[in-house]
Structure 1
Amino acid sequence: MIYTVTFNPSLDYLIHIDDFKPGEVNRMSFEQIYPGGKGINVSIVLQELGCESTALGFAAGFTGDEIHRQLQETGVRSDFIRLPSGNSRINVKLKTPGSETDMNGQGPEIPQDRIEELFDRLDSLTENDFLVISGSIPGSLPDDIYEQILKRLDGKSIPAAVDATGELLTNVLSYHPFLVKPNHHELGEIFGVELKNRGDVIPYAKKMQIIGAQNVLVSMAGEGAVLAAADGEIYQSDAPKGTVRNSVGAGDSMVAGFLAGYLKNRNYKEAFHLGLAAGSATAFSDGLASGDDIRSLAETL
């Protein structure tokens, strides 16, 4: 089983306004409410690709109930820890011609006893499971929560995928995560350099392996992607052709596609191509990509 962890899940309220005028009453041309959070996105795309997963994390109030209900509708199993007060956050995604604006909520307080509940659930994982931890953490969680989790699981041979930035990512590399997925800007920030093309990325992806990551998958938007794989090979590709309509969830989709491809036959090249197709298919969609769109795009790579 694949387990995804979303520390601060949300209901995302997506709205389109064709002629946005600040300070005035604006009429929406489109609106949609759907569950959000990086781990949840991974679970939804995994479901589209025929891979079961369980979404873990924290949920509170009526918004937490709605996140659970909508995930049930998509077929995704969730096992959220209920919080004693507050509401899971609401994020507003405003799209206007030529721009996207995100207004993200803070989320509820997470007390220590609920953190311990999450640790207890993760303690039940075995070497036959996969763990995905991704995204930012709310202020009520300790800054080293990622590190605490991987340290707790160290020695149990549980493959972990980590999609995070800065010290959240670098502090877990000593635990040899199976997969890390920075974009090229995030990778450059870690090493204090500017990475503009795939040739620039390759040596720094290898450095991430030397530090401890087994597979380093670097997304590069229109420039495609690079994978420094655990088999010693470097896989790289241009991005598929298409019209970008959405940036939310593309990286999460890439993680899901890579894991789904890898679990099929343990082939890194195929995993890389399915990951790139999944990320691109979501970028070309209004929301998270469908399995059919991902598979169709993968056939072009």
Structure 2
Amino acid sequence: MIYTLTFNPSLDYIVTVPKFTCGVVNRTTEEIIFPGGKGINVSMVLKNLGFENTALGFYAGFTGMELKRLVADKGIHAEFIPVDKGMTRINVKLRSEQESEINGQGPAIAASDIDKLYEKLDALKDGDILVMAGSIPDVMPQTMYMDIMKHLQGRNLKIVVDATRDLLVNVLPFHPFLIKPNNHELGEIFGVEICEKEDVVTYAKKLQERGARNVLISMAGDGAVLVAEDGSVYQAEAPEGKLINSVGAGDSMVAGFLAGYLEHGTYDKAFQMGVCTGSASAFSEELATKAEVLDLLEKNQNLF
């Protein structure tokens, strides 16, 4: 079974205002609400690709109830933990001449809530996959990812981490199966600017030296790189298409990689599936469907 873990999920409220002006009443021309959070995005894309999975996380208040309803409507099994104080956050994404975002805080997750999460994690079985993605709320220990990997150490699990800076670096000694920084996040870790694929490979190998097994780096319109644990290096340009919505593209790449790996058992196929799934989401108003991914795969074999 595949499990995804989102510590601070959200309702993503996306509004379009053709010419937003501060200080006056602005009226929307379009409104959409999606269940949000990196792990939840991974769950939704995996479901679209035909892979059943379980979404873990926390929820609170009336917004949390709506999050649960929306996730269920997507056909995803969720085992969210209720939190007494606060509410599931609303992230407002304003589309206008410039795009802006206002992200909410999220509920007050208590130590007892974290204990309940560990109880759910203890139920994972040998061979399961756990995807931990996204930021950690301020009310939680900033060592949370590392604490979980330490807690699960010695279990036969494949753990995927999609996080930034210390959240990512601190888990490396516990040998995550896959990490997925983008090239800017990779550069932040080492205090350098990384724009070329050759430099991506160099610094990805440094993360392997620290303990990562496979390092998948997204580079937006410049493609992607995979440095695999067997010594292979895969590079690809981005498929051609019109960028419609970049939100969730990186999460989709993670889902596609896992889908490709589980279906074929090879890193080259996993990489191809990951690249095309990330791009399919970027070229769509919503997250990638299986048909969209397969279409891109068929049209872009020359990239690989």
Task: Give TM-score scaled by structure 1 length.
Answer: 0.98
- Give matches, 1:45-124, under 5 Å: 45-97=45-97, 99-124=98-123
- Counterpart CA distance in 2 for 1:156 and 1:126 is 8
- Counterpart CA distance in 2 for 1:273 and 1:26 is 43
**Contact 1:262–1:270 (8 Å) recurs in 2:** yes
- Counterpart CA distance in 2 for 1:292 and 1:64 is 31
Report the AA paired with residue 4 of structure 1.
T
**Contact 1:127–1:159 (8 Å) recurs in 2:** no
- Counterpart CA distance in 2 for 1:230 and 1:127 is 20
* 2:13 corresponds to: 13
Report the AA paired with residue 80 of structure 2.
F
- Give matches, 1:76-225, under 5 Å: 76-97=76-97, 99-225=98-224
**Contact 2:85–2:109 (8 Å) recurs in 1:** no
- Counterpart CA distance in 2 for 1:287 and 1:138 is 26
Report the AA paired with residue 262 of structure 1.
Y
Q: Percent identity?
A: 55
**Contact 1:41–1:249 (8 Å) recurs in 2:** yes
Unaligned residue ranges in structure 1 (runs of 5+):
none
**Contact 1:46–1:53 (8 Å) recurs in 2:** yes
Report the AA paired with residue 78 of structure 1.
A
Q: CA RMSD in A?
A: 0.9
- The structural deviation recorded for 1:259 is 0.5
**Contact 2:44–2:74 (8 Å) recurs in 1:** yes
- The structural deviation recorded for 1:72 is 0.9
- Counterpart CA distance in 1 for 2:153 and 2:200 is 29
* 2:4 corresponds to: 4
* 1:282 corresponds to: 281
* 2:251 corresponds to: 252
Report the AA paired with residue 193 of structure 1.
V
- Counterpart CA distance in 2 for 1:46 and 1:163 is 16
- The structural deviation recorded for 1:287 is 2.3
* 1:29 corresponds to: 29
Report the AA paired with residue 85 of structure 1.
K
Report the AA paired with residue 59 of structure 2.
A
43-52 vs 275-284, which moves further:
275-284
Unaligned residue ranges in structure 2 (runs of 5+):
none
33-42 vs 278-287, which moves further:
278-287
Runs of 4+ off more than 3 Å: none
Secondary structure of the residue that 1:79 maps to in structure 2?
A: strand
- Counterpart CA distance in 1 for 2:207 and 2:199 is 14
Report the AA paired with residue 111 of structure 2.
Q
**Contact 2:146–2:171 (8 Å) recurs in 1:** yes
Secondary structure of the residue that 2:261 maps to in structure 1?
A: helix
Report the AA paired with residue 126 of structure 2.
E
- The structural deviation recorded for 1:127 is 2.0
- The structural deviation recorded for 1:283 is 1.1
Secondary structure of the residue that 1:85 maps to in structure 2?
A: coil
Secondary structure of the residue that 2:54 maps to in structure 1?
A: strand
- The structural deviation recorded for 1:155 is 0.5
108-117 vs 276-285, which moves further:
276-285
Secondary structure of the residue that 1:87 maps to in structure 2?
A: coil
- Counterpart CA distance in 1 for 2:31 and 2:227 is 39
**Contact 1:59–1:65 (8 Å) recurs in 2:** yes
- Counterpart CA distance in 1 for 2:54 and 2:35 is 14
Secondary structure of the residue that 2:99 maps to in structure 1?
A: strand
Task: Give TM-score scaled by structure 2 length.
Answer: 0.97
- Counterpart CA distance in 2 for 1:267 and 1:89 is 38
- The structural deviation recorded for 1:85 is 2.3
- Counterpart CA distance in 2 for 1:108 and 1:70 is 18
- The structural deviation recorded for 1:157 is 1.8
* 1:294 corresponds to: 293
